[in-house]
A and B are shown apart, each in its own frame.
Chain A
Amino acid sequence: MSLDTRRRVIIRAAARAFLIGSVILAVALGSLPGALAQTGFDRLHQSQTPLTPEEIVSSQIEQLSLEDLDTFVRALDPNVREALPPLDLKRMIFEGEGVEWGALGARIARVFLDEVSLNLSLLGQLIVLGVFCALLKTIASSTRSSEVAGVAVLVSLLALLYLALSAFRSVVATASDTLDQMVGFMLALLPVLSTMLAAVGAVSTAAIFHPLLYATVTGIAALVQNVLFPLVYISAALAVIGSLSKEFPVKQFSGLLRSGTVLILGFAFVAFFAVVQARGAIAPIADGLAMRTAKLLTGAFIPVVGGRIADALDVIVGGSVLIKNAIGVFGMGAIVVITAFPIAKIFSILTIFRLATALVEPIADERLVQAMAGLSGSLTLLLAGMITAALMFFVGITVVVGVGNATAFIR
């Protein structure tokens, strides 16, 4: 590396450090959401007694605006809200009471079992009607003029299909509601996370990630809601219609739609991961270096109090890391909880569909089996879409939290 380039690199790093340093100073001296740093710094400046980390973190939390998040949590379904970890950052940080994953898992398992027992009547209806159809078909085929009998069997098939379709419809409504909820939650959480990211010192990371995550969250939601779900619905409708009439076979088309959905889902997933990981690998290092330089400059160039300010900077950043991680954990828990209940419901209905199809297949009409298999295939896709979206949101939060930590550690 030539001397010239090296000088340029040093100048650039210094400029960057100056920028970051001034931002942090501005944050420390008031204004912006970053006012959270103010209280701790002021007190440190005025009183000569050392501050405890608890006090700094508490005063930071007090300044942090969680209103959006709080409003959102309060608007949730009471059942979901109960399972949610309490949005009490102080307790999460000082007492280590985060999300109780074990209790959460037990609760989800219970909900799943509840849903299964609730929908067991559906299973019973499907099987009994399927058996009736089979019986009537054998009786009806004993009469010679089987055309009328064929119509009668078709009608009983219709009754069965209607049952299955109404269950499917309720699932569709649940899935779509849940997606809306997830997106609403992410949009409420992201500003808070970005604020904390900036407070940790990862200013450029926050600048990159905030719009990136906003775009991906809304993009994923739009993709799933407007492209994937309609594809799934169309394939389900085609499966039902195609099974009703032998003269209008659309089985392949329905299958095509389904594999298209899977392809799009997989592609979106891979693209999301690639983008988020690639961004997450570079930005925090730069931020960390800038932070380090800022600390160095503060300590070296501000006379008298410089060293103390640099130390205060350290403590405040550490507190911000704690808060950010607590919010991240809360967010992850919330995403899990918000999705877990609907997924349990969908999964229970899917299980029942599959079970009913399997049990009825040896006796029932092949058309019925085909329609049921099509419906349960679509349900599986619906489930996959929801889980993928939830996973992407989950990973998004994890990456933001992790990126902030990387910045803080490099410091």
Chain B
Amino acid sequence: MMRVVGLGIVVSVLLTVIRKDIPPIGAQVAAAFVVTALLMLMEPLAGVVRAFAELASGAGVRTVYLALVLKAVAIAFITSVGAELSRDAGEAAIGSVVELTGKVFILLLAVPVIAAILDALVSLLPG
């Protein structure tokens, strides 16, 4: 945790200089930092997911639901990071497309659940 925070401070300080003197590599350095930080986050994140899974299996939640929820959040995270990076590089259009992709994939993920809910609702209604 401390490493990520320290690295973040250092990179931010460096970036103020880099962006002024050599603007072309500013975005690349930022991207490199994000990727490194995410990689460092992998291990604790795996711990969190494992804890969730344990909790869920303890409560008898079907893994389908848990997988659905976790995947949706993961997609949301990844696409939002990508979108922010693109915006940072000054490409707002690309950023919004990345976000859109994320939304589409989450919806795709949710299609079975939505269909099941609609099915349940329709079967409830008379006639």
On whether the two chains bind one another, the answer is: yes
Out of B68, B121, B124, which one reaches A159, CB within 8 Å? Answer: B68
Decide: A158 near B114, CB < 8 A? Known: A148-B80, A151-B103.
Answer: yes
Say whether A162 contacts B113, CB under 8 Å: yes
Tell me whether A166 is interfacial, beta carbon within 8 Å.
yes
A64 CA to B55 CA in the complex, in Å?
61
Closest to A166 in B: B120
Binary contact readout A168-203 vs B (1 if CB under 8 angstroms, 0 otherwise): 110010000000000000000000000000000000
Say whether B69 contacts A162, CB under 8 Å: no
The chain B residues found within 8 Å of chain A, CB to CB, are: 52, 55-56, 58-62, 65-66, 68-69, 72-73, 75-77, 79-81, 83-84, 99, 102-103, 106-107, 109-110, 113-114, 116-117, 120-121, 123-126
Say whether A125 contacts B61, CB under 8 Å: yes
A169 CA to B119 CA in the complex, in Å?
11
Report A-chain residues with C-beta under 8 Å of the C-beta of B55. Answer: 128
A128 CA to B69 CA in the complex, in Å?
12
Say whether A155 contacts B124, CB under 8 Å: no
A82 CA to B60 CA in the complex, in Å?
32
Tell me whether A236 is interfacial, beta carbon within 8 Å.
yes
Say whether A121 contacts B113, CB under 8 Å: no
Closest to B110 in A: A155
Report A-chain residues with C-beta under 8 Å of the C-beta of B107. Answer: 151, 155
Decide: A124 near B59, CB < 8 A? Known: A155-B110, A156-B69, A237-B124.
Answer: yes
Most buried by B among A121, A155, A160, A168: A155
Decide: A234 near B59, CB < 8 A? Known: A132-B69, A159-B68.
Answer: no
Tell me whether A264 is interfacial, beta carbon within 8 Å.
no
Tell me whether A163 is interfacial, beta carbon within 8 Å.
yes
A321 CA to B62 CA in the complex, in Å?
58
Say whether B103 contacts A147, CB under 8 Å: yes
Query: Shortest 10 CB-CB distances between A and B: which pairs?
Result: A124-B59, A152-B76, A230-B126, A121-B60, A152-B72, A128-B59, A156-B69, A155-B110, A155-B72, A233-B124
Say whether A124 contacts B113, CB under 8 Å: no
Closest to B61 in A: A125
Out of A140, A160, A169, which one reaches B124, CB within 8 Å? Answer: A169
- CB contact list, A349-364 vs B, under 8 A: none
A133 CA to B73 CA in the complex, in Å?
10
Closest to B114 in A: A158
A271 CA to B26 CA in the complex, in Å?
81
Selected A-B contacts with CB under 8 Å, 5 pairs: A140-B73, A143-B81, A155-B109, A163-B65, A233-B126
Report B-chain residues with C-beta under 8 Å of the C-beta of A26. Answer: none
Report B-chain residues with C-beta under 8 Å of the C-beta of A241. Answer: 121
A149 CA to B59 CA in the complex, in Å?
25
Report A-chain residues with C-beta under 8 Å of the C-beta of B125. Answer: 230, 233-234, 237
- Chain B proximity of A371: nearest CB distance (Å): 11
Say whether A162 contacts B120, CB under 8 Å: yes
Say whether B52 contacts A144, CB under 8 Å: no
Out of B59, B84, B109, B121, which one reaches A121, CB within 8 Å? Answer: B59
Report A-chain residues with C-beta under 8 Å of the C-beta of B59. Answer: 121, 124-125, 127-128
Report B-chain residues with C-beta under 8 Å of the C-beta of A379. Answer: none
Report A-chain residues with C-beta under 8 Å of the C-beta of B126. Answer: 226, 229-230, 233-234
Report B-chain residues with C-beta under 8 Å of the C-beta of A166. Answer: 120
Out of A136, A145, A169, A233, which one reaches B83, CB within 8 Å? Answer: A145
Binary contact readout A321-339 vs B (1 if CB under 8 angstroms, 0 otherwise): 0000000000000000000
